Structure 1
């Protein structure tokens, strides 16, 4: 079956320019042209477009794009390992989010911070070492207003309080998450959080976990469309 761009655009609720952009960026196979110069899409193209729509919310466009380019090259195993890596990352995020809730519920410091549990102020290097967050990410969070620091009067180095560490730990669980309006709202809530309001912090920690649960379901949906595409292309043994 041959379809016009407008037919697919209506079916998928996309603009024709979005379809062209996906093709230009190599996310779908090249199309043939009609005698009048219009693109001709097939059922195979529809499967690619549907896969993009289904995968992007859970995996992000960068991973989705790389996966579909590998599918076109028939590098199925490489594509699936990319997906698996993102799923493993989501599981790590979920574990961190659950740990944040546990910390707030028990009011005990994170075991990874035990060595500095009695230290009121930490340098950016110490924060980075204890949380495994790059210093560049911590500086970016400060630059965009998600966290704040004080300055050492002797050398001008950044210093972070234990209360700011609570925000950093919450942000850590969301750091690799797929961009979305919900993610932006969560990060803004963390930025505006009263670090001394434990109940509010608990709510944000639970909201973060709920967000990751939602992403997990989005990933499952994306995987189902990827499987359908692979079946259509006869790429599975």
Structure 2
């Protein structure tokens, strides 16, 4: 059984040895044995886990990656694959949202408006999230005669754009995207179209990154004898 030094794994994956230790502390790689002097003894199986983490996290995020690898350590392959399946369903749902936004932009009307409850039902976004987004300035509503909050058609589009950021892996690009949504002027059609295009690019990139991650997940499963 070949023993591999942490520094060699770190160099190969272009991360630090402290990052390797943090993965171990999170319980997403098996605990390595220790030498008589206390040094960690990594083997090929550990390398496969580390490679999988580095490959999967850009497309799936650390939370999903961690959940999947913890299932694999318990030999629960089907449970791990259902977690992956749910993440990829979210990608398709985001694609549908982008199509909805484009349709709304083509048929934008100034008259139509909806209450917070109606928006929540149509978008499956909790009213508490809508209130938070309004508090943070991402969207705006107006009070009606009955004192209810109403979102116009353009604000509804901004709400759908914000929903697209929910499944995205946290990154500087997503932070910037949310700032662009916040700064959209009322009925800025071209600005909204530009953001939709950027959302599509982010989604395409996520799909590609997930495919890359799945390749290394397959390799790990093969190493563990789970395929």
TM-score > 0.5, shorter chain as reference: yes
Who is 1:6 aligned against? 7
In 2, the alpha carbon distance for the partners of 1:36 and 1:158 equals 66
In 2, the alpha carbon distance for the partners of 1:96 and 1:46 equals 38
Q: Is the 8 A contact 2:108 2:153 kept in 1?
A: no
Q: How many residues align?
A: 226
Who is 2:33 aligned against? 32
The aligned runs of 1:190-209 (5 Å cut-off) are 190-209=181-200
- Give the C-alpha shift of residue 173 in structure 1: 2.7
Who is 2:18 aligned against? 17
Who is 2:123 aligned against? 131
Question: What is the TM-score normalised by the length of structure 1?
Answer: 0.88
Q: Is the 8 A contact 2:141 2:149 kept in 1?
A: yes
The structure 1 segments of at least 4 consecutive aligned residues displaced by more than 3 Å after TM superposition are 117-120, 150-155
In 2, the alpha carbon distance for the partners of 1:37 and 1:131 equals 54
Who is 2:65 aligned against? 64
In structure 1, the gaps of 5 or more residues are 110-116
In 2, the alpha carbon distance for the partners of 1:154 and 1:128 equals 19
- Give the C-alpha shift of residue 153 in structure 1: 6.7
Question: What is the TM-score normalised by the length of structure 2?
Answer: 0.92
Pair 17,153 (structure 1): closer, same or farther in 2 beyond 3 Å: farther
Who is 2:107 aligned against? 107
Provide the secondary structure at the position in 1 that maps to 2:150. strand
CA RMSD in angstroms, aligned pairs only: 1.8
The aligned runs of 1:25-104 (5 Å cut-off) are 25-104=26-105
In structure 2, the gaps of 5 or more residues are none
